[in-house]
Amino acid sequence: MESASKNDKNTVINKKVKTSETTVKVHAEKQKNKSEKTRPCFWSRLKNFTVEPPKTVVIENGIEKLVLITPEITVIPKTVLPKEETQKPVPVSPETIIRTEIVVKPAPVSQEAVVREKPIEKPVSVLPKTTVVKKKVEREPLPSSEKLKKGLEKTRGRFWSRLRNFFSFQRKIDGSVLEELEDILIGADIGAKPVKKLIHELHEAWKSQAITETSQIHDFIKNKLKEDLRSWQTSIHYAPNPPTVIMVVGVNGVGKTTAIAKLANILIKDGKKVLVAAGDTFRAAAVDQLNIWSKRIGAEIVKHQTGSDPAAVAYDAIEAAIARGIHVVIVDTAGRLHTHENLMNELSKIKRVISKRIPGAPHEVLMVLDATTGQNAISQAKMFKQAVDVTGIFLAKLDGTAKGGIVLGMRNEINIPVKFVGLGETADDIEKFDADTFVNALFE
């Protein structure tokens, strides 16, 4: 029994060994097949790459054959150059070789024989120097009427273009005609109050048969506007004894600094000595801008450090003007909104300091208004008039707006005269306000 069991065990072991050997052989064969199937790498293929010569197809007896193309070889004949005749060296015996050293001394040259000829100088024609004189091309100043007419071009296009169409029709005046005219005048930004006054006067003239047709309204409106604006005192009120102090106020961004430069320039052209007080100490750029303008136009300037008291700047400017014999002192102030009560009180303080040093000063308080703001400028002027008693208006940027009719509204709304008009960006773009010139420029 034991021997039988041992034999069974041996047979099982032999079977396991055989199965393991067969699995190894199968695995080896698979690896061999894989290696045979795997493609060789690029470099090995490149190494074994051979270039086949070019072939072509030739048909012989109806049978197509591939035949190698033999390249044509062109034989270039060699050019045979003639051989140079070579001279054989002549044998020289050592006895015939004689080494001789010959010393050549230069022959003496007499000084008389040496003649140095001077080069013949040819006359050179020298052109005279031409001095180029650069002439400054100065633009000819336009007359005040032409300049104002050009500045009111946008306003005239809005105001007069509609009126021209209205006057072109020969119609009898009635209630509908007056209503249409009222709409045109209000659209020109003149203001409701002055328009109502003008329409009322026109209605009375129509009732009294002074005017009967629309063509007569043109001259009627023109004459009425001139009468209203002529009542303004547009000249500067100078002090009996210099200096005359002009205080300039306004809100932010209306062009106040440029307006001061224009005002100083026109006064200097009138023969006045002008001093500018840089009172806008809250903005460093304003002081620098005034300093540049004063150098351009020839005005003197008094300035303090940024953040100093503007009233102190005004006081020192007046002291300097008295010592230097200055005719006009223009006091700049910081821009402020009319709704800020504390800033408006600061303007009153500056005015009190000026009046303590010179009784009755400031002699003029000019407010710079931006013409592009339209009717909002009138509300600003009302608030400033309560704080510092504004005596005149500098209407800036009139050339860049179609709302020039605001001038006609100021006469009836606030009754503050427009004394100067700004018509550009240079120092010469300023005009003194004249009622007849303004109305003529508006209607032409």
pLDDT at 413 over 60: yes
Percent pLDDT > 70 in the chain is 65
Question: What are the tens digits of pLDDT across the range 374-399?
Answer: 778 888 888 888 878 899 999 888 87
pLDDT at 72 over 50: yes
User: CA–CA distance from 384 to each of 84, 329, 407 (Å)?
Assistant: 119, 21, 17
185, β-bridge pairs: none
User: CA–CA distance from 415 to each of 62, 392, 404 (Å)?
Assistant: 122, 10, 16
pTM, 2 dp: 0.64
Instruction: Give the pair of three-digit tokens for residue 254.
Output: 């209306």
CA atoms of 415 and 431, how far apart (whole Å): 20
Question: What are the tens digits of pLDDT across the range 282-324?
Answer: 887 888 999 999 999 999 999 998 888 999 999 999 999 999 9
Chain mean position to CA 86: 89
Q: Which residues contact 119 (CB under 8 A, 6 or more apart)?
A: none
Q: Which residues contact 265 (CB under 8 A, 6 or more apart)?
A: 297, 299, 427, 428, 430
